[in-house]
A = this chain, B = another copy of it.
Amino acid sequence: MSKHPKCYTNLVERAREASRLHSIAALLGWDQETYMPPGGAPARAEQAALVARLHHEASTSAEMGELIAECEADSSLMSGDTQEAANIRELRRDYDKLTKLPASLVSALAETTSQSQHAWKTARENSDFKAFKPWLEKVLDLSRQKAQCLSDGKGELYDALIDTYEPGAKASEIEAVFTPLREKLSTIILNIRDNGTPPNTDVLDRSVPASQQEAFGTFVAKSCGFDFTRGRLDVTTHPFCEGIAPGDTRLTTRYRESSWTDSLYGIMHEMGHGLYEQGLPEGEAHGRGDVPDQSGLPCGQAVSLGIHESQSRLWENAVGRSEAFWKWALPHAKEMMGDVMADQTPESIGAAVNTAKPSLIRVEADEGTYNLHIMIRFELERALLSGDLSVADLPAAWNERYRTFLGLDVPNDRVGCLQDVHWAFGLIGYFPTYTLGNLYGAQFWAAVRNEIPSLDTLIAAGEFSPLLTWLRDKIHTHGRRYTPNQLCERATGKPVSDQPLLDYLTAKLYPVYGITQPSGV
């Protein structure tokens, strides 16, 4: 490190301290969801608020601002495509974002979204949109103010919000990809509905004890490459992956005896996130002797929600729902989950886990229809933010789109526009990252299959490391060095497009439903 100018060394130290506070906050959050007894909740809220304050102070200190400016003025640091230059650029990005928001707006947002979550919960239970309406209006109003501060009055307001989750993404560009994708996805789904023969899915409904699900899921995660010496798997109501700190990535899942696929694909999904976290350049001290230590710095952090989601969806769907995967996994599943699997073949189970059928609830949607749910939310929240759609008109607009895109009647707002917590949380601009993740994931999948033609054979033999190595080299190891789009172009040679996802879905779903693949989709 002595090769660096003093200002950079100091900046690294400041950034790592802020990052350490963030990692402490992550542990507080993880413990709250896993092991904290209920009586600890009030004290935990106080601890979390204190750490959040200390983190904000550390991230927005005058010293941090001065060190960033000093580094930016040093041409030896800023020239060339280096990790140092990327770290400085991204620390500037974070610093500006945090310092642009007035403290009064930050606390108003925190308070309002805390209250609106409670309001949403009751409103959803009672399917009472009117009760949630004033809260959504407040959240939107504050979100507009936030977007105005972040955008300095330039460009579409929505872009300033999505940029928080997906650096560089623009609503107009997303729209340009989503609109044709929606038509083509609808065509596939309707074709399946009208002309397909659904696979036999009996095996999905068979009961499997939680302990057997856990043993099998853990075995799969370990086999795919998740390092349990640098991570773990626990049980929570809502599954998640938390990169607590370098060398410490924690997954959670839930076990329902009546749905073993829920835990298996839940684990594979979170494991995909976890493999990304474990693949960041954290250096030898944190168990990655093969990479430089960028821990606590932007180049050691995940670049965006979309890229994160691409990793989880790739492992969950492209790998986990493939026949090749089941060629390897089925004998192990038979051994660990017993009679349930006795009558299955890789073909039968590979078909059963790939049904595609329009449904009302996003989180229960299958791979074929999921993105239609996202597109609806993207359109609606963008219109709500711009004011083109009034909150009062939201339920009607929601229901109309579910009828058009998915052919479904929404019986009430509980299973309609009140189903997701995101807007109550103030997460406007978050939804499109799910579909961006699917698009990136399919594009990465196409690229790696192209570069490793024997990938199916390797997976069928339980050899996952060539795939993981490819993802590490192309994605994980770069952290925030490149923007999501740059990363996509570097990894696949092309900007993100809808074609890989469409190719992937038709190639998988049509055979499952016994449909001869039409040309030109």
Contacts and interface: CB of A to CB of B under 8 A. Distances in A.
A495 to B, nearest CB: 36
A509 to B, nearest CB: 38
A40 B245 contact: yes
A37 B24 CA distance: 15
Interface stretch (A44-52, A212-220, A496-504): A44-52
A286 B39 CA distance: 6
Contacts of A16: 46
Contacts of A246: 40, 42-43
A248 B36 contact: yes
- Scoring A43, A47, A234 by chain B CB atoms within 10 A of each residue's CB, the highest score goes to A43
A21 B227 CA distance: 31
Interface string A285-320: 111000000010000000000000000000000000
A294 to B, nearest CB: 13
Given A17-B50, A24-B51, A54-B54, A286 B37 contact: no
A266 interface: no
Interface stretch (A27-35, A137-145, A182-190, A426-434): A27-35
A354 to B, nearest CB: 34
B232 A43 contact: no
B40 A247 contact: yes
Interface in A211-236: 227-232, 234
Interface string A38-76: 111111101100110010000000000000000000000
Contact of A231 (B39, B46, B51, B295): B39
B47 A247 contact: no
* SS of A interface (majority): helix
A479 B313 CA distance: 53
B227 A39 contact: yes
Nearest to A36: B248
A439 interface: no
Contacts of A21: 50
Interface string A350-372: 00000000000000000000000
A470 to B, nearest CB: 23
A217 to B, nearest CB: 17
A517 to B, nearest CB: 45
A248 B40 contact: yes
A47 B35 contact: no
Contacts of A227: 39
Nearest to A21: B50
Given A27-B27, A28-B27, A39-B287, A44 B231 contact: no
16 contacts: A16-B46, A17-B50, A24-B28, A24-B47, A27-B31, A36-B248, A37-B230, A37-B232, A40-B244, A41-B247, A42-B247, A42-B285, A43-B295, A44-B245, A44-B248, A54-B54
Q: 8 closest A-B pairs (Cβ-Cβ)? A: A40-B248, A39-B230, A39-B247, A43-B245, A39-B287, A42-B285, A43-B246, A40-B247
Given A20-B47, A37-B231, A42-B286, 8 more contacts: A20-B50, A27-B31, A27-B47, A35-B234, A40-B244, A41-B247, A43-B295, A47-B245
